[in-house]
Chains A and B, each alone.
Chain A
């Protein structure tokens, strides 16, 4: 099997680049593709960017504390959108594990003042063991907007340990959509978003499916550090037998901030575990923070209602699970939606 056999369409990858502002593709430690299709966008392998531009160095370990224990990264992407630029199409990035035991990347995205950027990033692996360490640091400057969609489709024996830090300046917006339908053996991530500037906003939505033999520990942490900052963190998790921890931590540090956290889980097998850990931490007066957490099963009543509209039991279950996961709200590729239906069907018959 080779890289060509992996269906990258499912992780949002458009090989023809028709509707893409640019592409970065890395297999193991090798950069296979690094192209720019629209003005105002700069894409480099991160090693090259750091080598060429002195100013780029301040963005390395600029959000996250430097951790030398991780060792050296092989490469990663460096994406920058110039001030005021707003490319029509998203930039796509794709990180694949093929032969190597460990893939270690360091990614940097800078959206300059008043600029806008959509990024679709797909991470996948060929069947086999492996470990993915991905450090990502994103900078959303004043009145800029970054919409980052990440689709994970790992092999069953891969370990995934990303670290993500995001800084949002005044009036900036960061939207994070995360979809993980093919969980790895172990995946652990707790991206942290710092809303540093006044009126900065963060919205994070995760769609998580955990099948038997997988262990997922995922959450989002948001520091609301300025007045008027807002955050909404929503996670929808379905376990067909896997272990899944859904975390969320909101820290309100200034009066008047608003934040909401929602962790909802559907547990469809006795073998699975869903552990929702929502945390709210208020550190100033006059703030509004709330959370909503629920773990449950699909109500028989809902299944039978859809059966009374002509669906058989499996179709009814799949319809409800799809609805619960909100897949139609997040713009995930059609082929991935079909994949989700297949996963539900397969897990259904296994139940």
Chain B
């Protein structure tokens, strides 16, 4: 689904990513952990294609296509959807409007009210985008927009930060729904077979790992100082970091 090859990225003339390679296979959920300032958000912003993140070497492939130079909105149309960690306020643009914009980018038509109900956002549709939203409301608004887009690859930048525990469950459910991962036994199919049919992928940046209680991750990466230092079972990585900190991860190098 997504393949990042030896990516070097500069922000304001300073190299932040020093040759990062990682892969998010089709149907898999991948976590990206790492200390503050390690370059996690830079990686996600570069995958999305934002200005200010200059790729000096390496390539990004999505669905087999080299998207390294592709404009942001075309990546969206191709199926990448990003939930921002700190989305900006856009005055005069209603949340309902941005939900419709997001849906139409992917050739979809949605009923914003029906979608909003799933993340308790129906009272926010007539409000300006993110204007006066609390941390948790912003996250729910981001997920609502992703629901409208129905992307094939979700990029989630700390979806649980600033969200109370109760709401994390709600967000987790919504994310699983976008991923097509509401695990319910399907008649005539084993769970293993159902899982094999998962088509959507996600790359999730998480600090606390709380989201892993709700969304099953398949693979984890650790990014430190702009380099991938470790990959493996995401729960094991989380346990190691919780117990020993990132120092232990660095030893993997």
Binding site for B on A (CB under 8 A): 299-302, 304-313, 319-320, 322-326, 328
Contact = CB atoms under 8 A, between A and B. Distances in A.
A31 B33 CA distance: 75
Nearest to A301: B88
Given A307-B76, A324-B92, 17 more contacts: A300-B51, A300-B52, A302-B88, A304-B51, A306-B101, A307-B71, A307-B73, A308-B84, A309-B98, A310-B76, A310-B77, A319-B101, A320-B93, A323-B90, A323-B93, A325-B92, A326-B92
Contacts of B106: 310
Interface in B209-248: none
A305 B87 contact: yes
Given A306-B101, A310-B77, A299 B88 contact: yes
B105 A309 contact: yes
Contact of A312 (B71, B102, B104): B71
Among B73, B84, B91, B101: residue with most chain A CB under 10 A = B73
A313 B51 CA distance: 12
A309 B88 contact: no
A323 B131 CA distance: 13
B147 to A, nearest CB: 12
Interface string B49-93: 011100000000000000000011100110000101001101111
Contacts of B105: 309-311
A319 B149 CA distance: 18
B149 A309 contact: yes
A311 B149 CA distance: 12
Interface string B100-125: 01101110000000000000000000
Contacts of A300: 51-52
Which label, helix, strand, loop or mixed, suits the secondary structure of the A interface?
helix
27 contacts: A300-B51, A301-B88, A302-B90, A304-B50, A304-B51, A304-B72, A305-B90, A307-B72, A308-B48, A309-B98, A309-B101, A309-B145, A310-B73, A310-B77, A310-B149, A311-B73, A311-B105, A312-B71, A319-B101, A320-B93, A322-B92, A323-B90, A323-B91, A323-B92, A323-B93, A324-B92, A326-B92
Contacts, number: 67
B77 to A, nearest CB: 6
B74 to A, nearest CB: 8
B185 to A, nearest CB: 35
Contact of A308 (B52, B76, B92, B128): B76
A299 B51 CA distance: 12
Q: Which 4 A-B pairs have the closest CB atoms?
A: A310-B105, A323-B92, A307-B72, A323-B93
A238 to B, nearest CB: 12
A323 B101 CA distance: 14
A76 to B, nearest CB: 35
Nearest to B107: A310
Given A306-B98, A320-B93, A326-B92, A312 B73 contact: yes
Contacts of A319: 93, 101
Contacts of B82: 308
Contacts of A326: 92
Contact of B76 (A301, A309, A324, A325): A309
Contacts of B84: 305, 308
A310 B107 CA distance: 10
A180 B230 CA distance: 60
